[in-house]
Amino acid sequence: MRWLLAGLLFALAVGLAIGTAAIRADNARYRFAVEQLYRDVHDRWVELGRLKLERLESSSPERLAAEHWAHLEAQNARRLEALQ
């Protein structure tokens, strides 16, 4: 009877060890995926900042004024269409 109980306890310990190893491996896989996603988001954030600076540097007062006039003309055209 003692040997049967010892065998069952050993089988339980082995099952517990295998289950623990499987959970740890799954956690490592998920952790790697999350870290990869974090790196991708961080890279995109840095690229967004670079693009903002590039756009700010490329904006001149003349170009901004031209865009403003185009916006005002488009708004005026919409208002005239709404009146008709």
Domain ranges, ordered by start, for the chain: 2-83
Report the pLDDT value the prediction gives residue 65, as an integer from 0 to 100: 87
What gap in Å lies between CA 52 and CA 63, rounded to an integer? 16
The C-alpha angle with vertex 32 and arms to 31 and 33, in degrees rounded to 5, equals 90
Q: How many residues does the chain have?
A: 84
Q: If the chain, 84 residues long, is cut into consecutive pieces of 10 residues, what is the mean pLDDT of each piece? A: 91 94 95 96 95 82 87 94 85
- pTM of this prediction? 0.53
Q: How far apart are CA 29 and CA 35, in angstroms?
A: 10
